[in-house]
Structures are given as C-alpha cells and as structure tokens.
Amino acid sequence: MKSNIILTALFSACLFFSSCVEEGYPFFAPGSSQKEETDDPDNPKPPVPATEPDYSRLTADNHPRVIFTDEDFADIKDAVAAGTNTALNQIHTAIISKADGYVGAADLVRELSGKRLLSVSRNAEERILFCAYAYKTTGEEKYLEQAEHDIQTVCKFSDWNARQHFLDVGEMAAGVGLGYDWLYDELSSETKELARKALNDFAFTPANDGVWNLNFYEATSNWNQVCNGGLVCAALAVYESNQTVAQGIIDKALESNVAAMEGMYSPDGNYPEGYSYWCYGTLYEALMLTAMETATGSDNGLSSTEGFSKTGKYMVFMEGPSGLCFNYSDCAPSTVPCLAQWYFAWKFDDLSVLYLEQDRISKYSSASESRLLPLIAYYAEDIVMSEVSAPEEYIFRGDGETPVVLVHDTWTMGLEDKFLGIKAGKGNTSHSHLDAGSFVYDYNGTRWAADLGLQSYGTLEPYINLWDMNDGSERWTAFRYNNLNHNTISVNGAYYRVAGMAEITGLVNDSGKKGATVDISEPLSNEVASAVRTIYIDGDDLVITDDITARSDKEAEVRWTMVTQAQPVIEYGSITLTRDGKYMFLTKSSKTGHNPDWKTWSTVGEHTWDASNAGYYECGYTITLKRGEKATITVKLTPDDPME
C-alpha cells in the first residue's frame, strides 16, 4: 500500500541526498520514520531538510490522490477480506455500519446553532466521507448515490458561515473536497462543477478576502490547524481546475502553519490547549500533512517541526489510571479516543503511542472526531498491533508555552499505578485557565486531586465576555476559570497576572521520588515576592512543599487549595478525605515554624451562570505572612492503606 508515496520519496531522496551529506544531516527518505536519533537528547541532530511538494502530479487523470488512491482502496478491501488486521477490520466495519445509516437519511439543512453551523458541517463531512469510503471499498452504488446527494445539498447552501465561524468552513471544505477527489470518476459533471464553485465561493474566496470571525492564519491554536487542514484538502482536490487560487490557498496554509506548529508543539510536544483540543487540532494537522504527502509527495517539512514527533507520547502520559486525563485549560476530565495517535504510529514508527488506543477501537464509531475514521483506516492498514507496547519512560517533561510534567509510577494503568500531572504556563494563552502550579493526582484507581475543567461555552457566552484573556477580564470571574478554584496557591484573594509565566525549574527523579519544581512567582508578583512549589510522589505519599516570601510592602494572605471529589473533614489536626470507602489524609508541617489553619470552601459559584460543581469539594489551608516574611510549608497526601 501507499506505493505512490514511496516511489516519490525515493525519487526526491536522490535529489537532496548529496546536500544532506555535505551539511552533515542524517538521511531519511521522506515518508519514512524521522525519529531523532542521538546520544545526547539535549542536543538533537538538525531536522531532515524538506523536499518540495510536486504539484505536477495534480492532474485531471490522477484522481483519487488525496489520502487514498484507487490502489489504496483496493488494498484495504483485500486486507479486510483476509481478516488478519483486526484493528483495520473493526474500523472498516464501523465506517460501513454508519454509512448504512446515512443511506436514505433526511437531507442536511443549513441550520445554525447560535452562531455556529459546525454541527451541520461535521455531519456533512462524516456522511460524505463514510459513504465515499464505503463505495470505494465495496462498490455498492447506494453509497455513491448518497455521497453525491449530500455533496449537492451542502454545495447549494447559501454559504458555509465563514463570516461568523470559519471552523464550520474548514470542516465542510474537508468533507466536500475529499468526497470530490475520492469519487471523481463517478460523480456527474454537474456535481463536480457545483462542488468546485462552492469550494471557491464559500471557502477559498472568504479565506483570501478575510471574511472570517477570527484570523486563523495568525492563530497559534486549533483554528489554524482545522481551517487550514480543510482548505488544503479541498485545494489539492480541485487543483487542476483552479490552479492559481488553489496554489495560493496551499502556500498560505503551509506558511501560516509553521508558526502554529512551533507554538503548539515545540520544543517537546506538549500542547498548550490541553487534552481535548489536542484530539481535535492535531487530528486535522495530521489530515493536512497526510493529504500533502499523499497528493504531492511531501508535507513541506512541517512534520519535522521540533517537538511534533514527541506529541503522541505526551498524550499517552496525559491519562491516569483513574480513567481521567489531566484536564488543564478548557478540557473535561473524561478520556476519549485519540485518533491522531494513528498518524504518529504510522509516520514516526512509534507504536507505543497506540498503547491506550488498542483497547478503544470498538468505541471509535462514537468518538468525538469519528468523522475522520477513513483517515484512520489509511494508517491502520500498515500497522501491526501485536507490536504495540507501553512507553519505556515514566516521566514526561515538556517546556514551551505551557510547561507540564507528567508522571506514571507504572504503565499497568491499574490500581498500583500512581499518576501525577503538574502544570506551569500563563493565563493569556488559548483556552487557558488561571491554573499555574496546579496538579492532579491518581492513587489506587481514584483521582484525589482533581480539576473542575471547562464550563460549556454556551452557558457562559450570553453573560460574560468569555474570550477576553486580559487582566480584569470577565472570563476570570467564572468559578472554574480562576486560580482560587484550582490546586494551587492564591494570595490576598487576587487573580493571577495573566501574562505572568510560571516555569518548571527542575525535575524530581531520585530515590524513587518523581515530580517537579514550579516557580509561580510571576503570576503572583503583584502579591508576593516569590512563590515556588515542589510536587512529587514519594512512595505512597504525594508531597507538596511551598516556599513563599511576602513582598516588603504588603502582607500576604495565602490560600492553599485542593479540589477533590473526596469529602473532606477537618479532624485531629489533619484533613480526612473519604471517597468510595477509601481514605486519604492531608497533613502539614513547616520548616519555618508556621502553623496554617485547615479550611474547607464551598464549590457553589457566586453567579447564577456558574456551572454546578456538585460532587466536588475544596479544602486546604490559609495563613497570613507579614511583610517580607518567608514560609516553607509542606502538605502530604497519605493513604490509609498504603499499597505494597
């Protein structure tokens, strides 16, 4: 399979091999694994030089060409019939099953939900891609007829809502563009003309004319990835019919995506917007890069961006044995299928990124990004699941825009595996909360230190300016968004400075202790002279030590907070936490002789529009430091029944 990539890669390799040798670069054929190979992880070798995309391949007699060729579809059909690739068979069966449900379904309707057409775009994208894939792998006409009908329907809409919410356009363009390409030889000339006109009028022209609600070209967020991903797929599909415009769309996407890739993955692969948005943005990044590589033989070197090859590993580390993720930023705590992991396994030959995915394949048909399942089938056809194993590392450190440290005690993902996630960063990054210095912790299969996560945007947008990320913004008045309600310290009841950058200043990885030190002085600089916390697992204990120095011009009323779903009771000089018949104890000590007061706080927001936090509690301590006073206070979270 994928012989078109390999042949082009080998030809291109011959053109730049000599320059690679002259410059001292390691040589890899494009499309092969490009993992960093170095004895010094702090000084990796330079990236592989990019080959130029070959746009001469984009001709009318060369369809399908984006992701799949006819040979690829035939190979999948044969592999499914052979039945030896269980993962592929499960994915294929899920696609066919859902495609069957779309045949004869009610017509798609241009109906907004608030300002968004996104749910319609996603439904259209899935219907078109699933039915197109089903036709190409089974030959059954009913799928072709449905896909063509859906393409006609959405291309007759008045527009794709570019002015109000350009994400809607990105996803619709991906569906129409890929459907057009995969079914090119079977679609009527009228349908193809209708699709080309809609892509030009509803996607390319608004993008070029700046008719959008957010400049995704300058965004370093999932918007850049999704909007560009959809536009590039569409431009590659119709390239020969509108070459000047299509080339401009592709060039602008590739150029703008460089800064986004660097901002979101460099240097170590951790994603600033967190777990949920990684699943969304990174999947569309994979879609765009794979589309470029399959159609033109090159992704223009974007996959060689520093940190990108590591981001799959980051996501494996983001999940705890409690079944919850580290849900910093605008993310819910539940774990979900991470479909983009198949790209990283395929592209970089790191099968450990599928360690958690192998047990989720049966859930893919209902996954939040299930509409791109045909893309996953493309990767899965080449992957041997029996070779998947757990990561070899137990600590992940990622610096960059939103630094994190993630710790697993084992990789069993069972009761004996402890999990610790620690976050630094700042408040004025995309989807961020004021949560610098916060952490989550799993022990004995239970999440003891939790993050409340996001509140649904639709319940906040009518009442506050949710997307103003500046100091004094209404965003921070939302209960779940400010530092008072995260697992960190707050001072004088003040919100963090949004531009104050908290840094990971060191790892703890000695004598069985695993964790990190976080300097949160900058977010708190209006209230204290310095604040540094060290958080680590030590045997069966979680240890959190805070070194705080008050400013010389004001007192510091410190609040140490931990959010938990265990009920807290202050007794016997400690806090007893009880959940599902399990117990933990919070105890405190101080090298500087301080004795803070244990406290609990309500999780009921003060505003009617705050989400209910039923089932969550907050506990911790308070202490007031005099001007210039220093304090070192340690809190331990200790189980009632330590594991052997």
Task: Give the whole-angstrom CA distance, residue 182 versus residue 48.
Answer: 31
Peptide bond into 267 cis (omega under 30): yes
**Can you read off the two tokens belonging to residue 63?**
């369809």
Task: Give the whole-angstrom CA distance, residue 190 versus residue 57.
Answer: 24
Task: Give the whole-angstrom CA distance, residue 341 versus residue 345.
Answer: 6
Question: Residue 203, exposed/middle/buried by CB under 10 A (0-12, 13-18, 19+)?
Answer: buried
Is 213 in contact with 164 (CB distance < 8 Å)?
yes
Question: Residue 360, exposed/middle/buried by CB under 10 A (0-12, 13-18, 19+)?
Answer: middle
**Can you read off the two tokens belonging to residue 11?**
């030809």
Give me the residues paired with residue 506 across strands.
517
Contacts of 580 by beta carbon, 8 Å cutoff, 6+ apart: 446
Give the residue carrying structure tokens 């004869």: 104
Q: Which residues of 391-401 are buried (b: 16+ CB within 10 A; e: fewer)?
A: beeebbbbbbb
Contacts of 78 by beta carbon, 8 Å cutoff, 6+ apart: none
Give me the residues paired with residue 617 across strands.
564
- SS3 percent helix, strand, coil of the chain, rounded to 5, is 40, 20, 40
Q: Which has the closest alpha carbon to 401: 141, 198, 220, 163?
A: 220
Hey, what CATH class is 395-639 in? Answer: mainly beta
Question: Residue 388, exposed/middle/buried by CB under 10 A (0-12, 13-18, 19+)?
Answer: middle
**Low-confidence residues in the chain, pLDDT < 50:** 1, 3-48
Q: Give the per-residue pLDDT at 22.
A: 29
**Can you read off the two tokens belonging to residue 223?**
């918007």
E strands along 286-423, which residues?
395-398, 404-408, 419-423
Q: CA 479, 481, 482, 486: dihedral to nearest 10 degrees? A: 90
Q: How many CA atoms lie within 13 A of 508 on its CB side?
A: 22
Give the residue carrying structure tokens 């007893």: 576
Q: What's the sign of the alpha-carbon dihedral 335, 280, 96, 168?
A: positive
Q: How many CA atoms lie within 13 A of 618 on its CB side?
A: 22
Task: Give the whole-angstrom CA distance, residue 386 versus residue 389.
Answer: 8
Q: Which has the closest alpha carbon to 287: 208, 244, 234, 218?
A: 234
Peptide bond into 64 cis (omega under 30): yes
Amino acid at 156: K
Task: Give the whole-angstrom CA distance, residue 472 versus residue 500.
Answer: 14
Q: Give the per-residue pLDDT at 51.
A: 81
Task: Give the whole-angstrom CA distance, residue 385 versus residue 406.
Answer: 25
Question: What tens digit of pLDDT does each residue of 273-315 get?
Answer: 999 999 999 999 999 999 999 999 999 999 999 999 999 999 9
Task: Give the whole-angstrom CA distance, residue 518 versus residue 546.
Answer: 10
Q: Give the per-residue pLDDT at 26.
A: 28
CB atoms within 10 A of CB 487: 26
Please list the residue range(s) of the chain that carry CATH number 2.70.98.70.
395-639
Give me the residues paired with residue 439 across strands.
422
Q: Give the per-residue pLDDT at 50.
A: 58
Beta strand 574-579 pairing with 582-590: antiparallel
SS3 label, residue 33 = coil
Task: Give the whole-angstrom CA distance, residue 301 versus residue 154.
Answer: 34
Edge-to-edge strands, sheet with 439-443: 395-398, 404-408, 419-423, 439-443, 446-449
187 φ, ψ (degrees, to nearest 5): -70, 150
Helices (H), 337-425: 341-348, 373-380
Amino acid at 619: C
Q: Kindly report the CATH number that applies to the domain delimited by 50-385.
A: 1.50.10.100
Q: Which has the closest alpha carbon to 193: 241, 143, 128, 124?
A: 241
Amino acid at 180: Y
Is 117 in contact with 72 (CB distance < 8 Å)?
no
Please list the residue range(s) of the chain that carry CATH number 1.50.10.100.
50-385
Task: Give the whole-angstrom CA distance, residue 227 versus residue 206.
Answer: 12
CB atoms within 10 A of CB 80: 20
pTM comes to 0.90
**Can you read off the two tokens belonging to residue 96?**
């066919």
